[in-house]
């Protein structure tokens, strides 16, 4: 196992001689996607004419199916078969694992007569067209016996219980430290349930080849999906080939498989035909996971100079009754600001609603909406600038564990951001700036998000045509993975980009953990880099040991790679020629990356500073973004365009969290109020004006051999808090109940007599 010291040695990526690293290359699949020519899972070619499945969803929150009659549906035009729990083919029991190494257990569909949440799958119809499959749903006769269901998070907050296996994190004596503080803040924030609202719904196309099933599905983790399906069907995982080449957004919601995968595979087996199954837009809201609501109490205690003495974040959140998911909304605070007396913890409410799960920056995204506003309130109370307050509390080592930082440029992010944004033009007095009927204000917040490296592998083949083809069981969920892996491979081998191919999303390829937790680029990319280095060594050995090579007899460690050649001094040979001589298959190598043995000796995060200017309509309470700017530090940047796109995309998610996005569970039915993109209000173009981000020069040599870090989730962190702070600065209203919709802002303005 390597150590971070090994990673600090200069390598082709850190030297970046051909300049591919950091280059703002367009996304390889961008044109395919926007022209509708990238085949998504539902659209891939099938070996024969496919059938179409439609999943029928429960319309009660909790209870039993006492009777279900599918006969009318089964005889509807075009219908091939219809299943309920009574006649669905046998599947392994939920959670069962035939293979102990499976990453996921069985996840049976239509497994019993029990309904555990509104929108759960209860029946399945297979037909010749999607229209016929859907249309037959109305012919199903079903009776339920409904049971009492716990649906309203708000009414169960007081009875929230501890998270199994977790204890509060305590350092020092929070209560004593807090009560001894000169200046305090004690307030509670609420952030609502949110949905991912991916453009591409969950979908699968499946067919069988003998006893092996081929599934194209929309999922972020190849192995997880492959194992879940194999365990559900009760077959070894090598009899499931899972492909996921183009994905229209994941955001954590596709970190797992859903019933479309299981039912497509079962129906393809039963019918002997390829089967396509997609969730409807409405099902995406209720049959996949969501970000749970969070209530967060924040207490801050400081001395008169703003030095924090005590800090507590106590989160209450929810998950489904039988789930283990926890939105760790308080955790980020452990590593952010210095304070000797600290308390962070989580409490959980179990509800009979669809499953809570991971959504872009789980933890930080809702959590920073509270602490970063509490810091603003503390600054206000102290009469301090919010940036000065944060710098006053900048720790020298990680305040949670006293580990040194790998690199921490948070202060620089704030200072450079302040300068470029024009923070000095902010009037600290709320309500002091008007533009016609608009109150105008500025706010800022910090961003912090962990960085991770997981084990991963990759394969790399060099062929006689001079092409290098990287293969990896990795996913590109719209983040640019294809593109950055090509840049890494090209730079490592000294090949131009048009001589590099990247093939992803196939369980037959060397495995990578997939996309999630902003670990994808660092993990898959480091494996690609290490594999490239394996290829360099193999090619050097081939050349120096082959009498036909001009490099014969030289020391292989002296070889260099540039412009498609292997080079020593003024002698060189093309990689194409080397690969040709190796045979028709060319040269194939595999490589891998693992976390360094001492990786956890450092505190390692990505950081940023968010700045927002908003207008608040003094008549109606509408809040509109006027401009937004952020400065971020996230290691070496592989592709300036795509990294910025990830960051600004995250910032826009924060705009949604602050101003528009929420869903509500109807306490009478257990259904979500918003089930389409006209009702669930993610920001649209008109909401986003003058938004920009800058990434600082950085390399984190404790992160991985390339010194890169994740950017996929950093941008959302603190973004919404900067907006809420700007709303306060604009009109003097502190709203702690997200999103800050016109009705809430107006009520607060009226309460102030405005």
Partner 1 sequence: MKPFAFERARNVDHALSLAAAAPGARFLAGGTNLLDLMKLEIEQPDTLIDVGRLPLADISETAGGGLRIGALATNTLVASDPRVRSRYPVLARAILSGSCVQLRNKASMGGNLMQRTRCAYFMDPAMPCNKRLPGSGCSAMGGLSQAIALFGASEFCVAVSASDMSVALAVLDAEVETVRADGSVRRRPVETLHRLPGDAPQVDTDLAPDELILAVELPPPPSGGQVWRKVRARASYVGALASIAVAGDRVALGAVAARPWRARATEAALAGGASPREAAEAELVSASGADGRKSLVRRLATDAIQESRKGGRS
Using DSSP bridges, classify how beta strands 79-83 and 121-127 pair: parallel, antiparallel or unpaired. Answer: antiparallel
Stretch binding partner 1 (CB under 8 A), from 397-405, 425-433, 626-634, 680-688: 680-688
Q: Which residues of 347-386 are buried (b: 16+ CB within 10 A; e: fewer)?
A: bbbbbbbbbbbbbbbbbbbbbbbbbbbbbbbbbbebebbb
CB of 665 to partner 1, least distance (A): 8
Shortest CB 219 distance to partner 1, Å: 26
Q: Which is nearer to partner 1, 336 or 749 (CB)?
A: 749
List the structure tokens of 181. 């503080």
Question: Is residue 155 near partner 1 by the rule CB under 8 A?
Answer: no
Out of 675, 704, 719, 725, the residue judged to bind partner 1 by CB under 8 A: 675
145 CB neighbour count, 10 Å cutoff: 12
E strand intervals along 525-633:
560-562, 565-568, 571-574, 587-593, 605-617, 623-633
Minimum CB separation from partner 1 for residue 37, in Å? 20
**What residues numbered 407-466 form the site for partner 1, per CB under 8 A?**
437
24: which 2 tokens?
Answer: 């703002």
Rule CB under 8 A: say whether 186 interacts with partner 1: no
d(CA 500, CA 564): 11
Residue 22 found at the interface with partner 1 (CB under 8 A)? no
Q: Which is closer to partner 1, CB of 15 or CB of 131?
A: 131
Residues between 262 and 291 with contacts to partner 1, criterion CB under 8 A: 282
Using CB under 8 A as the binding rule, whether residue 690 contacts partner 1 is answered as no
**Residue 139 or 412 with smaller CB distance to partner 1:** 139
β-pair partners for 344? 169, 313
Q: Which tokens go with 625?
A: 């973004």
Smallest separation (angstroms) from partner 1 to the CB of 675: 6
Cis ω before 739 (30° cut-off from 0)? yes
First-to-last alpha carbon distance for the chain, in angstroms, is 64
- Enter the DSSP assignment of 42: G
To which H or E segment does residue 445 belong? strand 438-450
Binding region for partner 1 (CB under 8 A) out of 7-15, 153-161, 354-362, 616-624: 616-624
**In whole angstroms, how close is the CB of 119 to partner 1 at the nearest point?**
9
* Nearer Cβ to partner 1 (5/437): 437
Q: Is 743 in the site for partner 1 (CB under 8 A)?
A: yes
Angstrom distance (rounded) from CA 417 to CA 163 = 38
Closer to partner 1 at the Cβ: 145 or 666?
Answer: 666
The answer to the question of residue 627 lying near partner 1 (CB under 8 A) is no
Query: Does the protein bind partner 1 through residue 402 (CB under 8 A)?
Result: no
Residue placing its CB nearer to partner 1 in the complex, 402 or 747: 747
Query: Does the protein bind partner 1 through residue 5 (CB under 8 A)?
Result: no
Q: How far is the CB of 683 from partner 1 (least distance, A)?
A: 6
Under the criterion CB under 8 A, does residue 739 sit at the interface with partner 1? yes
Are 481 and 27 in contact by the 8 Å Cβ rule? The answer is: no
Binding piece for partner 1, criterion CB under 8 A, among 299-307, 380-388, 581-589, 661-669: 661-669
DSSP state, residue 292: P
SS3 (DSSP) at 215: strand
Which CB atom, from 1 or from 138, has the smaller least distance to partner 1? 138
Nearest distance from residue 531's CB to partner 1, in Å? 44
- C-alpha distances (whole Å) from 61 to each of 117, 146, 285, 289, 667 are 5, 8, 14, 15, 10
- Using CB under 8 A as the binding rule, whether residue 681 contacts partner 1 is answered as yes
Q: Name which of residues 109 to 138 contact partner 1 (CB under 8 A).
A: 131, 134-135, 138
Which residues form the catalytic set?
Answer: 713
Q: Is 683 in the site for partner 1 (CB under 8 A)?
A: yes
Pick the closest to residue 257 from 292, 228, 286, 279 (CA basis). Answer: 228
* Cα–Cα distance, 226 to 628 (Å, whole number): 41
Q: Which of 612, 238, 270 is nearest to 447 (CA)?
A: 612
Residue whose C-alpha is closest to residue 146's, from 169, 122, 174, 117: 117
Distance CA 324, CA 311 (A): 27
When the beta carbons of 470 and 748 are compared against partner 1, the nearer one is 748
Question: CB-wise, 399 or 621, nearer to partner 1?
Answer: 621
Q: How far is the CB of 131 from partner 1 (least distance, A)?
A: 5
Exposure string over 284-321, b if 16+ CB within 10 A, otherwise e: bbbbbbbbbbbbbbbbbbbeeebebbbbbbbbbbbbbe
Spatial CA neighbour of 180 closest among 306, 299, 310:
310
- Give backbone dihedrals phi and psi of 543, rounded to 5 degrees, phi first: -70, -45
> Rounded to the nearest whole angstrom, what is the least distance from the CB of residue 740 to partner 1 in the complex?
9
Contact present, 378 and 183 (Cβ < 8 Å):
yes
* Smallest distance from partner 1 to CB 684, Å: 5
Range 31-70, binding partner 1 (CB under 8 A): 59
Asked if 620 is part of the footprint of partner 1 (rule: CB under 8 A), the reply reads yes
**Nearest to partner 1 of 470, 733 (CB atom):** 733
Asked whether the beta carbons of 22 and 720 are under 8 A apart, the reply is no
The backbone torsions φ and ψ at residue 6, rounded to the nearest 5 degrees and listed phi first, read -65, -30
Give me the 69-108 binding string for partner 1, x by CB under 8 A, dash otherwise: --------x-------------------------------
**Selected range binding partner 1 among 222-230, 334-342, 617-625, 634-642, rule: CB under 8 A:** 617-625
Q: Are strands 623-633 and 691-695 parallel, antiparallel or unpaired?
A: parallel
Measured CA to CA, the distance from residue 579 to residue 598 in angstroms comes to 37
Q: Of these, 176, 397, 402, 684, which contacts partner 1 (CB under 8 A)?
A: 684
Per CB under 8 A, the list member of 8, 432, 664, 696 interacting with partner 1 is: 664
- Smaller CB distance to partner 1: residue 402 or 689? 689
**Nearest alpha-carbon partner for 200 in 277, 120, 284, 135:** 284
Phi, psi torsion values for 204, nearest 5 degrees: -140, 140
- For the bound state, the minimum distance from the C-beta of residue 585 to partner 1, rounded and expressed in Å, comes to 49
Check binding of 403 to partner 1 (CB under 8 A): no
Binding positions for partner 1, rule: CB under 8 A: 59, 77, 131, 134-135, 138, 282, 437, 617, 619-622, 624, 659-660, 664, 666, 668-669, 671, 673-676, 678-679, 681, 683-687, 739, 741-743, 746-747, 750
């Amino acid at each position: 196992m390597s150590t971070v010291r090994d990673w600090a040695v200069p390598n082709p990526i850190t030297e970046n001689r051909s300049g591919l690293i950091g280059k703002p290359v367009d996304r390889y699949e961008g044109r395919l996607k926007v022209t509708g020519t990238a085949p998504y899972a539902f659209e891939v070619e099938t070996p024969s004419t496919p059938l179409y499945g439609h999943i029928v969803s429960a319309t009660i929150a909790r209870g039993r199916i006492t009777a279900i009659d599918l006969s009318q549906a089964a005889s509807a035009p075009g219908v091939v078969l219809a299943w309920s729990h009574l006649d669905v083919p046998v599947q392994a029991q939920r959670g069962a694992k035939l293979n102990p190494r499976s990453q996921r257990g069985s996840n049976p569909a239509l497994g019993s007569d029990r309904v555990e949440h509104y929108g759960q799958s209860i029946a399945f119809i297979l037909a010749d067209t999607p229209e016929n499959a859907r249309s037959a749903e109305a012919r199903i006769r079903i009776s339920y016996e409904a049971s009492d269901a716990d649906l309203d998070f708000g009414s169960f907050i007081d009875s929230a219980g501890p998270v199994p296996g977790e204890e509060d994190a305590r350092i020092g004596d929070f209560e004593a430290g807090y009560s001894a503080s000169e200046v305090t803040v004690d307030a509670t924030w609420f952030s609502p349930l949110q949905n991912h609202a991916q453009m591409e719904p969950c979908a699968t196309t499946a067919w069988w080849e003998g006893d092996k099933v081929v599934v194209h599905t929309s999922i972020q983790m190849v192995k997880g999906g492959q194992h879940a399906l194999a365990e559900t069907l009760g077959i070894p995982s090598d009899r499931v080939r899972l492909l996921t080449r183009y994905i229209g957004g994941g955001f954590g919601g596709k970190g797992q498989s859903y019933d479309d995968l299981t039912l497509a595979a079962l129906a393809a087996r039963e019918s002997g035909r390829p089967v396509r199954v997609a969730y409807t837009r409405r099902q995406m809201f209720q049959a996949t996971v969501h970000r749970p609501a969070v209530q967060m109490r924040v207490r801050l205690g400081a001395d008169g100079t703003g030095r924090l003495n005590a800090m507590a974040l106590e989160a209450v959140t929810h998950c489904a009754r039988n789930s283990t998911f926890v939105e760790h909304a308080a955790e980020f605070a452990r590593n952010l600001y210095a304070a000797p007396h600290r308390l962070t913890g989580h409490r959980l409410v179990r509800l009979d609603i669809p499953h809570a799960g991971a959504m872009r920056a789980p933890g930080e995204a809702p959590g920073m909406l509270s602490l970063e506003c509490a810091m603003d309130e503390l600054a206000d109370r102290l009469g301090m600038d919010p940036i000065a307050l944060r710098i006053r509390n900048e720790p020298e080592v990680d305040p949670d564990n006293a580990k040194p930082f790998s690199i921490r440029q948070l202060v620089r992010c704030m200072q450079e951001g302040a300068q470029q944004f024009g923070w000095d033009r902010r009037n600290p007095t709320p309500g002091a700036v008007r533009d016609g009927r608009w109150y105008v204000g500025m706010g800022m917040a910090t961003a912090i998000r962990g960085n991770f490296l997981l084990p991963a592998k990759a394969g790399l083949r060099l062929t006689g045509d001079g092409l290098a083809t990287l293969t990896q069981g990795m996913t590109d969920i719209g983040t640019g993975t294809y593109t950055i892996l090509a840049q890494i491979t090209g730079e490592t081998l000294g090949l131009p980009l048009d001589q590099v191919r990247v093939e992803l999303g196939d369980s037959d390829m060397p495995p990578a953990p997939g996309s999630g937790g902003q670990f994808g680029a660092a993990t898959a990319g480091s494996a690609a880099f290490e594999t490239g280095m394996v290829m360099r060594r193999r090619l050097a050995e081939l050349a120096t040991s082959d009498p036909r090579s001009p490099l014969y007899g030289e020391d292989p460690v002296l070889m260099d790679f540039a412009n498609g050649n292997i080079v020593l001094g003024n002698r060189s040979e093309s990689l194409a020629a080397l690969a040709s001589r190796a045979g028709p298959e060319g040269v194939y190598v595999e490589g891998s990356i693992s976390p360094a043995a001492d990786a956890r000796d450092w505190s390692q995060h990505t950081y940023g500073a968010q700045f927002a200017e908003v207008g608040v309509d003094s008549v109606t309470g509408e809040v509109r973004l006027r401009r937004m700017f952020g400065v971020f530090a996230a290691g070496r940047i592989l592709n300036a365009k795509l990294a910025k796109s990830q960051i600004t995309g995250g910032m826009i998610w924060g705009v949604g969290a602050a101003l528009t996005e929420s869903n509500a569970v109807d306490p009478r039915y257990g259904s979500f109020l918003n089930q389409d993109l006209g009702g669930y209000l993610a920001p649209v173009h008109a909401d986003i004006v003058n938004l920009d981000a800058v990434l600082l020069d950085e390399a984190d040599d404790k992160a991985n051999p390339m010194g890169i870090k994740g950017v996929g989730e950093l941008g959302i962190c603190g973004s919404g808090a900067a907006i809420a702070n700007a709303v306060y600065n604009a009109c003097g209203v502190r709203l702690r109940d997200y999103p800050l919709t016109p009705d809430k802002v107006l009520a607060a303005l009226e309460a102030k007599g405005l």
